[in-house]
């Protein structure tokens, strides 16, 4: 049973990628998709830094004080 709301951002995201099943089924499919996992330490680092780069401009909204050191 899908307990999410039809108009919720998660439901819309599943539809945008062409998935029509339940939230649980969607997560099960993601867990089996090998393209969702890094296969090397370098790949893991690259994926991690892509998230850090994307989130960097948003951090000032969430934190009044931040470390001076940048993520490297």
pLDDT at 1: 46
Q: Is the pLDDT of residue 3 over 80?
A: no
pLDDT at 54: 92
Burial class (CB in 10 A: 0-12, 13-18, 19+), 23: middle
Residues contacting residue 60 through CB under 8 Å, at least 6 positions apart: 66
Using the structure block, give the residue that is written with the tokens 């951090």. 59
Q: How far from chain centre, in Å, is Cα 30?
A: 11
44 near 38, Cβ under 8 Å?
yes
What would the pLDDT profile of 23-49 be if each residue is shown by its tens digit? 888 888 888 888 888 999 999 999 999
Domain edges within the chain: 7-37, 39-72
């Amino acid at each position: 049973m899908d307990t999410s709301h039809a108009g919720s951002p998660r439901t819309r995201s599943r539809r945008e990628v062409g998935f029509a099943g339940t939230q649980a089924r969607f997560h099960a499919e993601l867990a089996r998709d090998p393209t969702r996992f890094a296969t090397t330490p370098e790949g893991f680092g690259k994926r991690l830094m892509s998230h850090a780069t994307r989130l960097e401009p948003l951090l000032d909204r969430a934190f009044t004080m931040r470390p001076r050191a940048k993520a490297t």
